[in-house]
Amino acid sequence: MSEPIVPHHATATRPAPLEDEEPLASLDRPGRPDESPDGEPIFDIRDLSLWYGEKRALNDVSLRIPKQRITAFIGPSGCGKSTLLRCLNRLNDLIDGVRIDGQVVFEGQNVYDPSLDVNLLRKRIGMVFQKSNPFPKTIFENVAYGCRLQGITRRLELQEIVERSLRDAALWDEVKDRLDDNALSLSGGQQQRLCIARAIAVDPEVILLDEPCSALDPIATAKVEELMQDLKDDYTQVIVTHNMQQAARVSDFTAFLYLGELIEFGETDRLFIKPERQQTEDYITGRFG
Ligand code: ADP
């Protein structure tokens, strides 16, 4: 049996409490599936279940995701991590035969409310996928894309947004002299940071990252992880990862899913050092998965 993974920040300063609130969670608080950090959540997921046809992929998941923190979804392949992530911006709507029960409340509004403007929702909640997916356009046009869709056409304004987004995505210095090159000429790691720049160009509140580093080498992975830390104060980030070390390195909170159920949720430091549930301990110590 291997040793539990110790988060890099386990001995460092805890994340600051949300404004006017008690610290988010303490080591001696149990990590029940419904454990919620104190403070205002940006997402309040309530009794969420999802079926692909007859197959149930999520089973009564309840979870509150805190604002301006990084939350990781971990668990073995096929346990529902990506499905849960895609529920946050209604990407599962695009799949035939999906049925959803329960609620995902985002900033006070149920995202499954039929009156909700899904395009606006997806503007507020950006997404970065496992396989970087730049458009076959220039670097500039990739970042400007969402802004153009929103009707921004003035060149100067677009230039400012593109530069700011590329700087925020820690890519500006590498590409500033080649903004008119095709984005597909960038390396895999650069393409993934370009996708992050494209996501933040439209000024979202949340960035969802679905296995963003699984196709990257360790150096490119480190850059993306560093970037996530840099973006932490401005965005809420939710990352799906099958890599427990990555969850321990980058996240403030971790949700462990198994067979469509939320087994345990809590502060990353606590969950990796002192898991409350036997299944969590078995998973993080490598007994299965
Ligand atoms: P994870 O992200 O943890 O690997 P997923 O959310 O991708 O898990 O999948 C959860 C379950 O739902 C799996 O059994 C998977 O096969 C199934 N599933 C995922 N996407 C679809 C789909 N589009 N159609 C049918 N079944 C799906």
Is the pLDDT at 243 greater than 50? The verdict is: yes
At residue 94, the pLDDT reads 85
For residues 262 and 31, give the distance between their C-alpha atoms in angstroms, rounded to a whole number. Answer: 11
Name the DSSP letter for residue 16. P
Give tens-digit pLDDT for 108-119: 999 999 999 999
Q: How far is the CA of 83 from the centre of ligand 1 (A)?
A: 6
Give tens-digit pLDDT for 194-231: 999 999 999 999 999 999 999 999 999 999 999 999 99
Nearest Cα residue to 44 out of 69, 24, 66: 66
Confidence of residue 3 (pLDDT cuts 50, 70, 90): low
Note the pTM of the prediction, 2 decimals: 0.87
Helix (H, G, I), strand (E, B) or coil at 254: strand
Residue whose CA is closest, atom 27 of ligand 1? 52
For residues 26 and 24, give the distance between their C-alpha atoms in angstroms, rounded to a whole number. Answer: 7
In this structure, of 6-15, 57-66, 128-137, the range with the lowest mean pLDDT score is 6-15
- Strands (DSSP E) contained in 53-154 are 55-66, 70-74, 98-106, 109-110, 125-128
Q: Work out which ligand 1 atom sits closest to the CA atom of 80.
A: 6
At residue 52, the pLDDT reads 97
Mean per-residue pLDDT, 243-264: 97
Rounded to 5, what percent of the chain is helix, strand, coil?
Answer: 35, 25, 40
Q: Check pocket membership of 80 for ligand 1, CB cut-off 6 A.
A: yes
At residue 82, the pLDDT reads 97
Q: Mean pLDDT for the chain?
A: 89
Burial 104-139 (b: 16+ CB within 10 A, else e): bbbeeeebbeeeeeeeebbbbbbbbeeebebeeebb
At residue 261, the pLDDT reads 98
Give tens-digit pLDDT for 10-29: 443 333 333 333 333 333 33
Query: pLDDT over 70 for what percent of the chain?
Result: 87
At residue 198, the pLDDT reads 96
| Tokens describing residue 84 | 């849960």
Helix (H, G, I), strand (E, B) or coil at 110: strand
Q: Of the residues 54, 79, 242, 261, which should be mutated to test ligand 1's pocket, given the most ligand atoms within 8 Å of the CB?
A: 79
| Tokens describing residue 287 | 């007994």
Q: Check pocket membership of 93 for ligand 1, CB cut-off 6 A.
A: no
Domains (range + CATH), the chain: 41-284 (3.40.50.300)
